[in-house]
Copies of this chain bind each other. A is one copy, B any other.
Amino acid sequence: MYDKGTMSTSKRRKLAYHHGDLERALIDSGLAVVKRSGIEALSLRAVARQAKVSHSAPYHHFSSKAELLAAVAAAGFDRMVEGIRQQTTGIGLDDPLEGLRAIGRGYVMFAVCHPSVFRLMFRPELTRPSKHPRLLAAETRAFRTLLETIVGAQQSGAIVGQDPRPPAAFAWSTVHGLAMLHLDGVFAETPVGQIDIQILASQINESIISGLKAHPWQ
């Protein structure tokens, strides 16, 4: 392996696309394409085009289109976790319910800010078969954030029950459904449409808390 630190900038740039950085560049290009043009436009060739590389170059880093898209989706999960973490910072760790509110806010906000990426993350037919281990890991990482907060709420007594999974599934389902129905424009076509999504999200966030506190999760 060569040492990047000893190279001039121009040499590093020249090398960048010749030793391992194209993988990262393709993932970034995938995110860029899906953000700009949506999921339908997210073809292997479009990603290669965006990366200014021939359409056969990706095959040196991903064995198929599905694997490439899985890597892009995994990157999406990582960015969502990052966004949620930003909502969490500056919040006292002593209040797990505030942590839950932050997760809900972060989840919906990510979906609203990056709708196409969010859609890609939940489009399993695009990454199948051979669902990339990286995608699985990224999903698990995202879910663990929620799970740990629920455990904290249970240990502090804010939520009754021992098993964190059902209440976690409830909270996740609610924010996920809210985000999806909003992105799909379903609310806009019904009487709900007149309600601002941010206001609706915080109302629903509170009702998640209420549901978590009131229902005996045993």
Question: Which A residues form the contact surface with B (CB < 8 A)?
Answer: 38-40, 122, 124-125, 136, 139-140, 143, 147, 165-170, 172-178, 180-181, 184-187, 189-192, 195, 200, 203-204, 206-208, 210-215, 217
Contacts and interface: CB of A to CB of B under 8 A. Distances in A.
A200 B124 contact: no
Given A173-B177, A177-B174, A177-B176, A200 B166 contact: yes
A25 to B, nearest CB: 27
A170 B203 contact: yes
A153 to B, nearest CB: 14
A40 B65 CA distance: 15
A182 to B, nearest CB: 9
A169 B178 contact: yes
Secondary structure of the A contact surface, majority rule: helix
Nearest to A178: B173
22 contacts: A122-B180, A122-B186, A139-B186, A143-B190, A143-B191, A143-B192, A165-B191, A165-B192, A165-B195, A166-B195, A166-B200, A167-B207, A168-B192, A169-B178, A169-B200, A172-B177, A172-B181, A174-B174, A207-B211, A208-B211, A211-B211, A211-B214
Contact of A185 (B124, B143, B195): B124
A178 B177 contact: yes
Contacts of A190: 139-140, 143
Given A168-B192, A172-B177, A207 B215 contact: yes
Contacts of A122: 180-181, 184, 186
Contact of A125 (B39, B169, B191): B39
